[in-house]
Structures are given as C-alpha cells and as structure tokens.
Chain A
C-alpha cells in the first residue's frame, strides 16, 4: 500500500522490535523493586506464624476473594473511610459489645447482657470472660472503659458522639462495666453498644495521634495479615475466636475502583464476591449465569427529592404536597430501577420496617396536584405554561450529584413531571463536594443552605434505628442534625423529643408512627424509592451469605453461619 515502507527495512524493524521488547522488560523488571512494600500494618502474630501440622482429613481451607471499591486506609477505628463497607471491614477485626442480627435488632455479643436501671440511666454490662485479643491477651472491662474514654478524648465523627455524654464508667471487676448516662438513651444498644469498636488498652494507651497509629490488633473473627495501599487487604481467620472460627479461612479483599470492572472480574472469576450492589441492568444477566448467584433483599438506603423548606414557593406545605402528588414514584422504580426496588413511603420509613404504619401510602394524582396550586392562587396568567406564585414565575433549580447517573435520570423525569403541573425545573449537575457545600455547608445545618431543590439520599443506618428520625425533622440544629431542608413543625418537634428519650419498644413504635404521619402530610422531602440490594457472588467459592435486612450481605455474621446471636 505504501511504498515508503521500503525505507523501513525488515532488518531495522526487527532491531526496533527487539529494542522495544527489551525496554518493556527492563521497565517491567524494575517496577517491582519500587512498588509498595507489603504488610506495613500486619498484626504481629499473623501471617508468618507457622501453621500447625495439618492432618490429612482436614477439609481444604476456604479462600474467598471479595472486591471493594475504595481504599479504607490502615483499617483501624481512626483510619477506615466509609460507613459501608469500611465499617463492616473494620468489624471483622474489632468487636462490639452488642451485634445487629439479621433483622437489625441489637443482640448481646462480647457483652453477655446489659441490665438497665429503673430510671433508664445506669447500664450494668456483663462481659464474656473468654474473649481474647489477637495477641492472646484477655479482653476485660478495663479495655471497654479505656475504649470509650479514648473515643471521648480523641474526636472521631462516629465514635465520639455516642460516648461523649457518659457521666461515668466504672469497672467493679474484670467482666463488669457500669455506665451512667445523663438521661435515658433508647438507642444505647444500637449505638454505642452494637457500633463502637472496642480497642485493646495495652496497645492504644500510649497513642497520641490515633490517625497515624498503624496497628490492627482487635478481638474479631479475622486478623489483618496484609495491606497493600490501593491494592488489597488480606485477612486470615482468627482460630481462637470466641464465637468459633469463621467459615472462611482466608479473605482476600482487592480494591477495584471501577464498578464495571468489578463485575467483569466477577464474571471471569478473578473475584468471587463484592460489597458493591449489582446495578439493575445487570441483575437478569447475572441471575441467568450458571456459576453465579444473586441474593436480593430490601435496601434501607433512601433516594429522595429534598426541598429547601425555607425558600419560596417550597416553604408552603401545599406546594410540596403538589410536587409529591405529581411524581409517580412507582414509575420511577419501574423505569430507573427496572422494578428492583420499593416506591417511596411519604412518611420516610421503609414499608418492610416493623415501625411503618401500613395505613400511610403514597399517592400519584396530577389533577389533585394542580388543584392544590390553583387553590393557592398560583396560576399561569401569561400562558407560557409556567405558573406564577406571588408575581414570580414558579421556577427552581434542582441540584444533582454529577457522579450519580441514576439520580440524574430521576431528576430529569421529575423535571418533566413538574412541568405538567406548571413548575419549571432546571436540572443542575454538580460535583458532590460542591453540592454538599450548597446544601449542607460544613455538614452543619446551623450554617444555612443555598438551594431550591436537590436530589439526596441517606444510608441504611438512618432507617434501621427509628429513633434517628428525630435527627431528620427536629427544628433545633443541635437535635435535628440532618434536617438539611430546615423543616419546622412544633408538632413534629414535640413527638421527636418524646421519641428521643423513650426506651420502651412499643411506645417507640407508637411515637414513630405519629411522626411518620406528620412527615407524610408536611412533606419536608419526597421519598422517591428504596432500591433493593442485589448482591452477586460465585457460590462455588462461598455460599453461606446472610442477607441482613436493608443492609446487605457483607457483615460479620455472614462468616459465622453457625452463630445465632
């Protein structure tokens, strides 16, 4: 084709090819010498410990490769990064006094029991006497007291708030901890007890900068034996675990940063499970594959349309109700999630939760929505299809996270739906941190907000514990710490305050339902859907996953199939 090729004689080409290959090899060969040195953070008695001579009858050790998407740092209580799956990975290494069971109820774990005084303020916790740290030392009440005090002193966003108000912590003997609270705390068993990890006093007591402390000795079912930054974590089962050895002997957790690649690797068998949920488009394909299984269950994470309840016209309850009536949430679930989810309950609580009042239902009714706006006198007087509210066109901007295609699609559909009732919406996509700076500056609702509408979502823990509804609706920023729309209602405040100090489960339920009712009428936000969790894995490698309601398959109990807390 090209005569000029003749100037590149075959001999030259061969020489060049050899040169290139050599170069590539040289670069390749020198790379390993400079790559991250492994295992800077290994627990002392871990990898290199010689295995006891294995009798031939022992079953083959189970090794499982489970991918995560982000690096979780050195994976100790001050360096892990995400609530999910970071906290879950942390919980393989460290124990909590209580544990959330498959139904999300707190059950005794390292603690045998928690006796509460009649006034609800004094908790007498009895510990098991057979729990050992990975280095062989016994876990005692001194470690518990030390941990809570350490978290109080060294600020951490998740561990400090639940323990900062303790009046006192006493340890009358090695297995008893007595904690005195300033007021009854209905969430005490969930947080701190089933949430805050206990750390070994003998290793942490001299630590002054906890973020830089590289040590992973806990009491959990696994030990961390290797960490290669941004590449993988390797865990080995703790043979002396008090609840029995984990069903997986070696857990390898590679970090794969692209979700598409995660699922490719799952298909090829390079990995056998992942903490990442399968996107709805892939569920059918993966369910049909012979060597893959998909475990599906309700998800408690919410996707919602959040109003700025302070900004006109959304400061009017009727306008918010009209918006909610104009959005067909079931259709959103069908189009965007391909039906793999539950349409939003306007009262916040997931319909599968025992706290939900089945009488509360969402409604889709465009006529009613229009009537509501007409009733306010918000009419389209100039015939451009957009209503005017108090002389101003009903136009608003809807913020959406640029990294979230699902929410962008939903935002577009919502804009189209609202156009039908005469509200003009401009969808604005923003990089997440910039969006947070407008919606929730410094993550402090007391600092105000600058938006009309935004796509939003809260993770499962906010649903799991009904008492946390209080933080969602209370008008005082100190109590309503996630009330990002500045919703105000004296009725809601009152119930929330009661709920916040109610320890009785039945009374909690009654109050939660009253609050649910108020939310469903005031519509401080529109709950669009709760996406189902779909988790794909290769059953040949490991098939004992337990679906924890609303939260998924990656948690401590999946690896301890014989334990029922």
Chain B
C-alpha cells in the first residue's frame, strides 16, 4: 500500500511539473503581449524606450529561461506575483473570487449530481420503457442548450418579465445588509445562475449514471441476486448502484476539480464575480501572472481529484482493494 502511494505520488509530481511548465509557456506562446495592459490606452504614443521600460518593470525583458527560473523560484516561495491588470497580489484576487466560484459551481455540482444520478439510475432500471425514453430525450435536449441562452432566457423570464430574482451580481452591492437579510440576498442572487448551471450540467451526470447502471444491470450477479429473492430495492442500491459508482465517482471528482475553474459563460451573463470570468479577461489581456496562477490552481485541483479517486477506488470497489493489497505485498 505504501509503495503504491509513493509510486502514485511520484507520478503526480511529474504531472505537476509538466503542468507548471505548460502554464508558464502557453500564455507566452499566444500572439500579442501585455504591453497594452501595462501602458494603458494610447500605447502608440510611447517611445520605444518607454515601452521597453514598461516591459522591464515586470521582468518581461528577460530571456524566457530566466523568466521561467524566476517563476519556479517564486512559486517555491509561495509567491504568485502581481496581476498586471489589477495591480494586486494574485493570492488576494483568487481568494476574493474563490468563495463565490465554489458557492456557484459547488452547489450546482451538488444539485446536478443528485438529480442526474437519481434520475439516471431510475431510467436505467426502467430501460426502454416510456419513462426512460422520455428522460433520455429530455436530458439530451438539455445537453444541447447553450448556457448563455438558458441564462438569458431565465433573466428575461424571472428577472424582467416576472421580476422575482435580481439579474446580476452575487449580492446587492450598494446596500449593506446584515444577518439573515444578507444570506437571503446572496441566495436570491444565486438562484438564476445556479439554475442555469445546473440545467446545463445535470445531463452529463444523468448520462454517465444511466450508462454505468445499464452496464451493471446486465451482469449475471444481478440475475443471481434476483433469483435469490433479494428485494428490488436492495438489488438497485446494494448490488447495482454500488457497482455503478466507480465511473460516477470519477466524473464527480473531476467535475469537483474543474469547479475551481468557475463557469465563464454563466459568470459573464450574470456578472457573477467568479474565477472563470477572471481567467477569460486575463487571456484577453495577456495577464500572464493571473493565467499562471489560475491554471496552476486548476491543475493542482485536478491532480488532487485524481489522488482522491485513486484513494477512493479501493474503498468503493473491493476488487481494486484486493489488487492493491496484492501489489503491495509483492
């Protein structure tokens, strides 16, 4: 078991190093540079000396290798640098946005998983019947809806036509609310973006759960369980769903990791202060430090999610557990 974990850890460190390097290289490979961002508007009026001075002020005049070395050095010290655009430490920027992002993407992941897996399991159970076909059609339809369109539709309906929910932001920024009123304000602002994100993401979970259940339900041990007289409910939950859980857990863990990356389109439509929009703006402006830090965070979370699933598998599936134990004893 220990050598299994050590081996995995080595793999993950390698993956992390490659990711860090790519995070450094990719933004710089894009055409264009952050000069406009550094200089502000009317950058054309600057002399070439002034331009060089601006680029030098953030170390972009150095050879790439030197920049890379500095980046690794700073990273090792936990220093993510300053955003070119916002003139603030990146840790502050990310810390400001992460709670909002996780509130939105996390709760959406939660709801879409519950709804998707429940309905997916039920649909598989009733494979081919009217309910299954109906659900399948419905979710394929949902899957095909673009999120900005769903968002705009919800705004038009529940923001403008029937003004039940606010149309933008994570809270009413111009009033200071306390206690319950504050929570209510946040929940009211969360409603439409959360609904949008859940609507567009639950079909993925539904499809995974349904297919994974179908595969399990076809196995002979299900027939055996039934033949033994195990109740339908026990067959579904103790025998089938338990075995169908692996792919679901994998998808869930990965989605959880990507939840840290935010939901760019939904954040934009609702002007929600999340990470997705931050990254998008950083790409447009070539704000290298923000890109590096945000991508790094997402990478780390994905690696972390993988570790989590690797550790979770043995718990969920005895077969994996035994294989690991055998491997460890060798």
- Which A residues fall within an 8 A CB radius of B? 1-8, 16, 20, 23-25, 27-32, 34-36, 65, 71, 73-74, 78-83, 86-87, 155-158, 160-161, 211-212, 228-232, 234, 252, 254-258, 260-261, 264-265, 267-268, 270, 431-434, 436-438, 440, 442-446, 471, 481-482
17 of the cross-chain contacts (CB-CB < 8 Å) are A3-B126, A7-B233, A24-B107, A27-B103, A28-B103, A28-B186, A155-B54, A156-B39, A157-B40, A158-B40, A231-B169, A264-B168, A265-B168, A268-B163, A433-B32, A434-B31, A443-B39
Q: Which of B46, B100, B268, B271 contacts A157 (CB 8 A)?
A: B46
Q: Is the CB of B163 within 8 A of A433?
A: no
The 3 A-B pairs of least Cβ separation, nearest first, read: A433-B32, A437-B31, A161-B45
Q: Is the CB of A27 within 8 A of B106?
A: yes
Task: Contact check, B173 vs A157: say whether CB atoms are below 8 A apart.
Answer: no
Contact A29–B167 (Cβ < 8 Å): no
Query: Does B85 make an interface contact (CB < 8 A)?
Result: yes
Minimum Cβ distance to chain A for residue B192 (Å): 10
CB pair A160 B50 closer than 8 Å: yes
Q: How far is the CB of B75 from chain A (nearest CB, A)?
A: 22
Query: For residue A23, which residues in chain B have a CB less than 8 angstroms away from its CB?
Result: 107, 110
Check: B324 CB closer than 8 A to any chain A CB. Answer: no
Which of A3, A36, A230, A264 lies in contact with B159, CB distance below 8 A?
A264
Q: Which residues of B contact A (CB under 8 A)?
A: 30-33, 35-36, 39-46, 48, 50-51, 53-54, 85-88, 93, 95-100, 102-103, 106-107, 110-111, 114, 118, 121-122, 125-126, 130-131, 134, 152, 155-156, 159-160, 163, 166-171, 173-174, 182-183, 186-187, 190, 232-233, 236-237, 267-271, 273, 277, 284-286
A536 to B167, CA, bound (A): 18
B183 cross-chain contacts in A, Cβ below 8 A: 25, 28-29, 32
Q: Across the interface, which residues of B come within 8 angstroms of A32, CB to CB?
A: 171, 182-183, 186
Q: A265-B167, A437-B31 are in contact. Are A156 and B40 (CB under 8 A)?
A: yes
Q: Is the CB of A433 within 8 A of B46?
A: no
Q: Which residue in chain A gives the minimum CB-CB distance to B99?
A: A34
B160: contacting residue among A78, A268, A442, A471, CB under 8 A: A268
Counted as pairs of residues, one from A and one from B, with CB atoms less than 8 Å apart, the total is: 196
Question: B284 contacts which chain A residues (CB < 8 A)?
Answer: 431-433
Q: Which secondary structure dominates where chain B touches chain A?
A: helix
Give B285 Cβ to nearest chain A Cβ, in Å: 7
Once bound together, how far apart are the Cα atoms of A27 and B114, in whole Å? 17
Is the Cβ of A31 less than 8 Å from the Cβ of B285? no
Cα–Cα distance between A442 and B31 once the two chains are bound (Å): 10
Q: How far is the CB of A27 from chain B (nearest CB, A)?
A: 5
What is the bound-complex CA distance between A2 and B135, given in angstroms? 11
Q: State in angstroms the CA–CA spacing of A254 and B172 once bound together.
A: 9
Apart from A1-B131, A254-B173, A265-B159: 17 A-B pairs, beta carbons within 8 A? A20-B110, A27-B103, A35-B170, A36-B96, A74-B87, A83-B41, A155-B39, A230-B273, A232-B173, A254-B169, A264-B156, A265-B168, A268-B167, A431-B284, A436-B32, A437-B32, A442-B35
| Assembly CA distance A32 to B268 (angstroms) | 21
Please report the C-alpha to C-alpha distance between residue A150 and residue B127 in the assembled complex, in whole angstroms. Answer: 75
B187–A73 CB distance below 8 A: no
Q: Contacts A71-B86, A231-B273; is A27 near B107 (CB within 8 Å)?
A: yes
Residues of A near B268 (CB, < 8 A) are: 257-258
A254 touches B168 (CB 8 A): yes
Q: Are A4 and B126 in contact (CB under 8 A)?
A: yes
Give the residues in chain B near A446, CB-CB below 8 Å: 48
* A29 CB contacts on chain B under 8 angstroms: 183
A260 to chain B, nearest CB (A): 6
Q: How far is the CA of A16 from the CA of B99 in the complex (A)?
A: 24
Q: CA of A432 to CA of B30 in the docked complex: distance in angstroms?
A: 12
Contact B100 A31 (CB under 8 A): yes
- Check A211–B31 contact: CB distance below 8 A: no
Distance A191 CA – B23 CA, assembled complex (angstroms): 42
Contacts of B97 in A (CB 8 A): 230
Question: Contact between A4 and B51 (Cβ–Cβ < 8 Å)?
Answer: no
CA distance A267 to B163 in the complex (A): 10
Q: Closest chain A residue to B49 by CB distance?
A: A155
- Max chain B C-beta neighbours (<10 A), residue from A35, A160, A481: A35
CA distance A432 to B170 in the complex (A): 29
- How distant is the Cα of A83 from the Cα of B41 in the complex, in angstroms? 6
Closest to A262 in B: B168
* Residues of A contacting B114 in the complex (Cβ-Cβ under 8 angstroms): 16, 20
How far apart are B148's CB and chain A's nearest CB, in angstroms?
9
A20 to B111, CA, bound (A): 9
**Chain A hits for B131, CB < 8 A:** 1-2
Min Cβ gap B168→A in Å is 5
A161 to B42, CA, bound (A): 10
Q: Which residues of A lie under 8 Å from residue B45 when comparing CB positions?
A: 157-158, 160-161, 481
User: Of the candidates B96, B277, B286, which one forms a contact with A229 in the assembled complex, judged by CB atoms under 8 Å apart?
Assistant: B96
Q: How far is the CA of A258 from the CA of B148 in the complex (A)?
A: 10
Known contacts: A4-B125, A27-B107, A433-B286. The answer to whether A34 contacts B41 by CB under 8 A is: no
Closest A residue to B40 by beta carbon equals: A157
Q: B42 near A83 (CB under 8 angstroms)?
A: yes
Asked whether, in the complex, the Cβ of B53 is within 8 Å of the Cβ of A155, the reply is yes
Give every chain B residue within 8 A of A156 (Cβ-Cβ): 39-40
Q: How far is the CA of A482 from the CA of B190 in the complex (A)?
A: 45
**CB of A357, distance to nearest CB on chain B (Å):** 27
